[in-house]
Amino acid sequence: MSIKVRPLGDKDFFPWLGLLEGYSEFSKSDLTDEKALRVWSWIIDKNHDLDGAVAVDDNGDFVGFTLYRPFPRTLSGDVGLFIDDLFVTSAVRDSGVSKSLLEFAREYAKAHNYRTLQWVTTADDKSAKKLYDEVGTRTSLVTYQAEV
């Protein structure tokens, strides 16, 4: 099986939606039509920072996606690329698709002169952390969140 990673396009909504549903279930997050449409509108809006890519198999089926956006790095005086989401279907998990999506994001960052990639994962996602330890360096930062 070969995988092609490419940018998400205007006509990709329904196959992407299937992946988003799987990602939402995997993440134990409720997905509504409103949320899905809002995120999709951000992806296809050329004036919005959120962008993304999809992994497609030999049959043309979507098997993974990643969403990313630039962010300012004030102490460095440059811009990085933050990977908000990365999801791969269970059928192809651990087959290199996630790594291909990360490499696509890295090339995207290089093409836009972004200086670094950053992302987060849950502390208990051992499979993801194994890959992330191969392709990146774990930082000492701790993430906090507050409702507003």
- The dotted CATH code for 4-135 is 3.40.630.30
Each domain of the chain, given as residue ranges in start order, spans: 4-135
Query: Could you tell me the pLDDT band of residue 135, with boundaries at 50, 70 and 90?
Result: confident
Task: Answer yes or no: is pLDDT of 68 > 90.
Answer: yes
The rounded distance, in Å, linking the Cα atoms of 140 and 2 is: 36
Convert the pLDDT of each residue in 82-104 to its tens digit. Answer: 999 999 998 898 889 999 999 99
Share of residues in the chain with pLDDT > 70 (%) = 100
Confidence of residue 35 (pLDDT cuts 50, 70, 90): very high
**CB 51, CB 6: distance < 8 Å:** no
Backbone dihedral region for residue 104 (phi beyond 0: left; psi -120 to 50: alpha; all else: beta): alpha
pLDDT at position 90 is 87
* pLDDT above 80 for 75: yes
pLDDT at 137: 84
Pick the residue with more confidence: 43 or 136?
A: 43
What is the distance between the alpha carbons of residues 145 and 53, in angstroms, rounded to a whole number?
Answer: 27
pTM for the structure as a whole: 0.90
